[in-house]
Structure 1
Amino acid sequence: MSQLDADCLNEIFGCLEKDKATLYSCLLVNRLWCQVSVRILWKEPNASTKVLNTLIICLPDESKNFLYSNGIILAPNLKSLYASDDYLYIIPSLMKHSDTLIKLSIKGEENHWPLSFIKVFNNLQELNISLSFINEDEDFEYFKDLQHFTFPHLRKLNVNLPTKFEPIVVKFLENNGENLEEFQSRCKCKNSSINRAVNDHCPKLKSLHTIFGENLSGLLLRNIFKKCKKLESIEIFRRGSNLSGKELLKIVAENSPKNFHELKFHNYYAELDVEDLKSFFISWKKRNPQKSLTLNFKNVGSKKNNEMKEIINEYEKIGVIKILKV
């Protein structure tokens, strides 16, 4: 049967279109079988990392080189990796690149595995972890190892985790915040202790994306600006915070570092009026050195009156605001 031509195989394999397991087995028979079955599988691609790796292994060298050169798959000298729920399959191979891997992204929705393997990546520069859990009361002892890891070259950290992991993130920042330049926290919590850890342990931060909960006041934001003297950009999600939009703008104008040039904030625009914006623009114009500000309002709702548009346009024209998105 292995001697059948491509047309015959295509007809036969076409009957197996819904039988993915059998088609995956056909990939491994020989090159012709692989070529025919791949065409059918890619009609409705829904493959795990394990299956994709099998497909790639079966490709001729010419095809692999084409994928490498176009950045579609990673070259043998692995520098970055995105791993979803089934990353457990690739851990043994991944460990071979402990010296060269500089970017690691882990995303999970249902199946979660120990993260202890990442501690060997001493040259890691960027780490992204996004995990969600159906049952947040489940015991996740294995995740606690993360708080003990140290990555001396880490520059970017992005975390999106349930509430119970907030103390672990805080401890991780204590160990790794010294050289961080970019930090994003989308943790499903009030972020009180996380923001305080940023203030205490991240002096070289240039970009901060965080959540301000009900226990966070203007004092902490002032302290962050004071401690993080290299900060250039901040994005704030408001989640029950008593910090008003007017006060937020005042703090940014008066306390942000000299290189600060980008402000993004969510759920504040609706409470601002023309005088609030005008006062902020005047204060920003007086800064020395004066830098154009990228101002980005998120979740603006329906409040877009003509007076506010006029004051915005006025200060755009004179260069106080470089880009304004509403």
Structure 2
Amino acid sequence: MCMNQIYSLRELAFPHLVRYIPFTTYPGATDCLRNLSELSCSSNIYSEFFYQLSHICHEIQSLNITFNNVISNGLIQLITVQKNLKYLTFEGFDDLEMVIPLLTKHSTNLMELNLYGHLPIPLSFIADYTNLRELVLSFDRHYGFENFEILQDVSLPRLQILKFSYGGSNQDYLIKFLEWNGKNLEEFTVDGINNDSINLAVAKFCPNLKSLFTVFLKNEIETLKIIFNTCQQLECIRVWCGGEYLPEDVLLKVVANHSPPKFHELKMNYECKGKRLFINWKYQNKDQKNKILPYYEQEDEHEQLNEWLNQEWWIRKRTERLSLLKNRNENERSMDRNEIVRSDELISRSIGLNRRNERFNERLNERRFGDWTDRSISIERRNDLLNEQFNERLVEWTDRSVGQNTNEWSNEPTLRDENDKKLNPKEELESFFTNWTNRVPKKSFSLIFISQNCSITTKLEVKKGSVEVIEKYKELGVIKKFEIIDFYDFEL
């Protein structure tokens, strides 16, 4: 151990997987740890570790604790002895009954409080944090604002950043809270809530907002215009796009024509929804073989999709030409359901996407789009979508989507929306950046795509023409930053 070689350690991360190492007793440990200011650890680390730290470290400013069933008594002691705790993060907790009373001591110093829990906890203690600058509350989607009522009339005069993930049935509490505390807010996040009244409250009570992440349904574009008109300090907005949310083309037009003078960054979230019928996977090899991936996703993004994947619902197809798809029903009746079929011409399969389930991830990695090997395929009826009905939709779709531009095959997947067949991403982007270039005052623009529950690229990204437009305006200095980020790598 090189404790005596480190004059003053400022940051320490100690996960629960680390075995017992009594480094706090090593020569030089006291001097090394005396000025420790940041600690990240698990709640169930052996108590002796925390007891030793509590005798050495009294000036920890940032404490990040991940809860794992057991709360060590030594951790309670460590929190108690701190003199200048400013930044506190609790993750993965079910109950904070033992910890909350200790936080009262730090109410005047605490500037940032982040709570990521499974179950709701009493929130009344937050009312004492009069110097709080940042508040993040993220609970299970089934509970949301269950205990938020007590905070609806609380005033936090220095609060600048407010973030919520998921919300319950009564969002009036949050609106009331914004009425009291919205004036000084610079950043507001409310994810997992589809409520236009909250967005209107933002427009009314948050005039100094600089960054906003919220949900707009596709018929709520006028609300976005109102926010742009009233929140003149707004610099960045993050929204969901496609499906039931804002259409991309409409969003771009509103941003170009209605965003306030300081606005310069747009973050667009994407998520595959069940109502988006199919993905057209077009691929050309030396034999000009067409391979189609029908995609049908259940409304429930978690339970049903995993159940569906576990049952391995595969679609069997035995054909030499796409036109033979129309005769599939008749051919199917003559086949034994357990027959092993080899199909070199076409393999169609359906998968569900849910990254939150580890078991799902393992299966998904084995079943990526590019894996077109011969397989044993079975037919299952699923959620009243009968084989005959599915075949009709598949044939109708393939007639419309496949073979129309046989010289323009692409190995990129294209997401088709029932109401979005004429989307021209290149023209949309060109029009947007042309308008943006002519804005006064001129400001470089940042465009960020955030993809969730979907292994395909976005409609704006997938076309080569879109990339050309983006590269063009990057060279001109109009685009400052362009990124494509996975949802789970993006902070709340």
TM class, shorter-length: 0.7 to 0.9
Amino acid at match of 2:255: V
| Distance in 2 of aligned mates of 1:235 and 1:70 | 28
Residue 229 of structure 1 is aligned with which of 221, 232, 251? 232
Contact 2:145 2:171 in 1 (8 A): no
Any idea what the Cα deviations from partners look like across 1:279-308, whole Å, max 9, x if unmatched?
001000001111110111233347522222
Q: Give the Å deviation of 1:52.
A: 7.1
User: What is the total number of aligned residue pairs between the two structures?
Assistant: 280
1:57 matches 2:51 = yes
- Which residue of structure 2 aligns with residue 154 of structure 1? 159
Aligned mates of 2:155, 2:242 — CA distance in 1: 31
Alignment of 1:173 onto 2:168 = no
- Letter matched to residue 169 of structure 2: K
Instruction: Give the SS at the match of 2:183.
Output: helix
- Structure 1's unaligned 5+ residue stretches are 1-19, 33-44
1:117 aligns with 2:269: no
Query: CA offset at residue 167 of structure 1?
Result: 2.3
Deviation at 1:162, TM superposition (A): 2.9
Letter in 2 for 1:82: T
User: Map of 1:59-98 to 2, 5 A cutoff?
Assistant: 59=53, 61-62=55-56, 64=57, 68=60, 75-84=82-91, 85=93, 86-98=95-107
8 Å contact kept, 1:213–1:239: no
TM-score, normalization by structure 1: 0.75
Report the Cα distance in structure 1 between the residues aligned to 2:209 and 2:426, rounded to whole angstroms. Answer: 32
Structure number, greater radius of gyration: 2
Q: 1:189 aligns with which of 189, 193, 207?
A: 193
Deviations 1:64-83 (A, max 9, x none): 36x94997898521112112
Identity of aligned residues (%): 36
1:25-76 deviation per Cα after TM superposition (whole angstroms, max 9, x unaligned): xx9xxx89xxxxxxxxxxxx99537x677742333744x36x9499789852
Alpha-carbon distance between aligned partners in 1 of 2:127 and 2:63, rounded to the nearest angstrom: 26
The answer (yes or no) to whether the contact 2:241–2:247 under 8 Å persists in 1 is no
Q: Call closer, same or farther: CA 1:88–1:249 in 2, change over 3 Å.
A: same
Residues 77 and 100, structure 1, Cα contact 8 Å, conserved in 2: yes
User: For 1:246 and 1:79, how far apart are their aligned partners in 2?
Assistant: 43
Letter in 2 for 1:311: V
Structure 2: 5+ residue stretches without partners = 1-15, 27-39, 65-77, 272-413, 416-422, 452-456, 485-492
- Cα distance in structure 2, aligned partners of 1:132 and 1:226: 34
User: Which one has a larger percent helix, Structure 1 or Structure 2?
Assistant: 1
Contact 2:130 2:156 in 1 (8 A): yes
- Check conservation: 2:138, 2:164, Cα contact below 8 A: yes
Distance in 1, Cα, partners of 2:62 & 2:175: 39
- What residue is the counterpart of 2:447 in the other structure? 295
Distance 1:308 1:280 in 2: 12
Q: Contact 2:218/2:247 (CA < 8 Å) preserved in 1?
A: no
CA distance in 2 between counterparts of 1:253 and 1:246 reads 11
Per the alignment, in what secondary structure is the counterpart of residue 470 of structure 2? helix
Describe the shift of the 1:71–1:175 C-alpha distance in structure 2 as closer, same or farther (beyond 3 A). closer
| Superposition CA RMSD, Å | 3.5
Shift of 1:240: 4.7
What is the one-letter code of the residue matched to 1:148? Answer: D
- Partner deviation per Cα, 1:218-256 (whole Å, 9 max, x = no partner): 211111011000000111123754642112111111111
**CA–CA separation in structure 1 for the residues paired with 2:223 and 2:446:** 22
Question: Under a length normalisation based on structure 2, what TM-score does the superposition of the two structures give?
Answer: 0.51
Q: For residue 103 of structure 2, what is the amino acid of its counterpart?
A: L
1:189 to partner: Cα distance: 2.5
Q: 1:92 to 1:272 in 2, by over 3 A?
A: farther
**Counterpart pick for 2:212 among 208, 213, 216:** 208
1:242–1:58: structure 2 CA closer, same or farther, 3 Å change rule? closer
Q: Does the 8 Å CA contact 1:212/1:240 hold for their aligned counterparts?
A: no
CA contact (8 A) 2:196 2:223 kept: no
Deviation sequence 1:83-129 (CA, Å, 0-9, x none): 2424321222210122111111112103x321111101111111000
- 1:312 is the counterpart of 2:312: no
Call closer, same or farther: CA 1:208–1:52 in 2, change over 3 Å.
Answer: farther
